[in-house]
Structure 1
Amino acid sequence: MVAPASAFDNNEKVKIVRRVLAGLAFTGIRRVRFLPDSYQIVGRAADGLHSDVEIEPLQLAVHFTVEDTVRAAGLLAESGAACIVTLGGDGTNRAVAKACGDVPLIAIATGTNNVFPQMVDGTLAGIAAGLIACGHVPSTLARRTKRLEIWLDGELADIALVDVAISQHPFIGTRAIWDLSTLHELVLARTEPGCIGLSSIGAHLCPLAREDERGLHIHLGDQGQPVSAILAPGMIRTVRVQRWRALRCGDAVEIALRPCTVAVDGERELHLERGGSLEVRLTGRGPRLVDVREVLWHAARAGLLRSPIGAQGEDDR
C-alpha cells in the first residue's frame, strides 16, 4: 500500500503451480502433497492437467494463518518428503524454515521483498524439484543456508532468514517497517547486491555473496554516514550508519536497547518493555536451499534433459 510493488494474485499463483506440476511430471514424480488454502490454488492448478501425478492435500486442520505453513512443513518433513516447493516471499519461507528440517527447499519468489526466494519460472522450479527428489542430481546442490536466531532469556524465541531489526517503535502495529528513523540496529544474514529490503543497507556497506558464511551487525544513528536503503520496490531512502562489523557463524549480538521492538525479515514480531536478555546469533542452521539454475546446469551437462526422464518405479517421491 505504500510502495509500487508488483503483486502476484491468486490466479497468477494457480498458473505458477500448474507449471510446477508440469515440471514435476516431466521428471517422473508421481506423488505431490500440498497445504490447502482458501482459494484452492493447487486444486485449480491440477484441474485438467493431464499427467500421472497423484495430488493430495495434507491431512491437517487448516486455519489460514502462518501457523498452517509451519505445521505443514513439519508434517512434510516427518512423512519423508524429498523436496518442498514454496510460493511466497521472505516471510513465507521463514515459516517453512521453522519446521522443514533437512528437506531441500525450492523457493519461488512471489512476495514483496524477495531476498531469500528465487525469481524463476514454475516449470523450471518443478523440473529442479523433481531432479532433486528423484536423486538424479547430487544432494550437495541443496546447500545449507544461514539463519539468525533470536534468544530471549536463554530460550530460542524466533528465527530470521535475512534480517533482524531492532526498532524504537513503541508497539508492533501493522508489522512492516517503513519508518527508518525508528531503527536502532540491524543484524543481517544476507547482504547481496541487487536485493530489496533492509539487507540492502548491508549490501551497500559490505557486499557478500549468498554462499559467504559471514553476516553484518549495523548500528544506526543521526550522526552516522549516509547510506542508501532500497526499502521496497520503488522506495529508496537514506539512513545514517554510525558503525558496523562483520559477523561469522556462531557470533552473537547482545541487544541492550529497552524498550524495543524486534522485527524479523521485515515484520515486527516481538516487543520488550524492560529487563531480560536479548541476543541475536548468526548460525549455519538455516534450511537447505536449492538454486534452480544450478540444478538445471548440472542436469543439462549430464544429458538428463534431452528427453522426458519417465517413470522411476515404485519408490517415486
Structure 2
Amino acid sequence: MMLIVDKVTKSIGTKKILQECSLNVQAGQICGLAGPNGAGKTTLLNCIAGVLTPEAGQIELDGKDLIHQPLNRKALFLISDDFDFHPFGTIRQMKEFFDIFYSLDEGELARHFNHFKLEEKNGIYSLSKGQKRQVLFSIALSLDLRLLMVDEVYDGLDWNVRRYLVRELTNRISDKSMALLLVSHSLKEIKGICDHCFLMKDQSIVAQEDLLENHLFRIQLVFREECKPDFKALEIIRTQQIGKCWNAIVRANEQTLRRVMAQLSPVLADVQPLSLEDYFSLMTDSSWKGEEEDDGEIF
C-alpha cells in the first residue's frame, strides 16, 4: 500500500470530526471519496496533508510517517476547495510560494499555463474560482508527486478544462508512480474518472467499492415454506424476511451467486445488479444518492 490511514481520530473543540477513520490507497489508483455533508471528507484530506493534526491514529506514505515528519509531505499535494492565496498577490508569487517547499518543473508549468492562457503577472484578485484552480492544477502537475488530493475535484471548472485535466492526470498515473484521491459530492463525477471509491458516514469510512467491476446484487428468493436459507458462501450486506420471501443485498461473483441460489432451491428467484447510488444510499440510511441533473459529459 502506498497511502495508509489507520484509525485516525480528529476533534475540533468538543466535536468529533473523524472517528477511527481508515483507508488504503495503492500506487496507480484513482480513488474517489464520497459521502454526505459533514461526513468528514475535507477533514480527512487536511489530516493527510498536515493542515490538521489528528489526536490518534497513523498516516503513512510509502512507509514514511506524515503526522510527525513534515518533510515527508513533499511527496503529496492538496488542492483545497477553499484555498485562497493573498488577494493582492500574483500568479508568479503563488508559484514562488510553492517553489519554497517543492521543486517545480518550470517547463511543465509553462506548458500548463500556456494551455490555460494564464500569465504570471496577473493578480490573484482578477481570477475566477475556476482560474485559481487552474493555477493550482498547473502547479500540481509540475511536481514530482506520489499522491495528489483534490477537494471537490471539478468545482468551478468547465467541461473543456475537465477533459484536459482528466487526460493529464491519467497520463501521470499510467506508470503507477502516483495515486489520486478525489473528493466529490457527485457519484457521477467519481464514476467518470475513478477506479475505486470510499464512502464516508458518521466521521468514518463505512464502505468501499471497486468501480471497475460490479459485485453488488439485490436478490429476492421465495420458498415453499418459511425457512432460514444458508447464505454463508456469500457476503451479506442486508437481509429481510417477509414470510416465505427473503430479500438480500449481497456482494459476490455473479457465477458464485447463481450457484448458491440454485442450491437453495427457491420456488422463485430474481437477481438484479445494485447501482452504486442505491448501495451508498443504503449504507448511509438516507435519501442521499450523490445524484445530480445530467448536464452533459464530465470529460
TM over 0.5: no
TM-score by length of 1: 0.28
Larger Rg: 2
TM-score by length of 2: 0.29
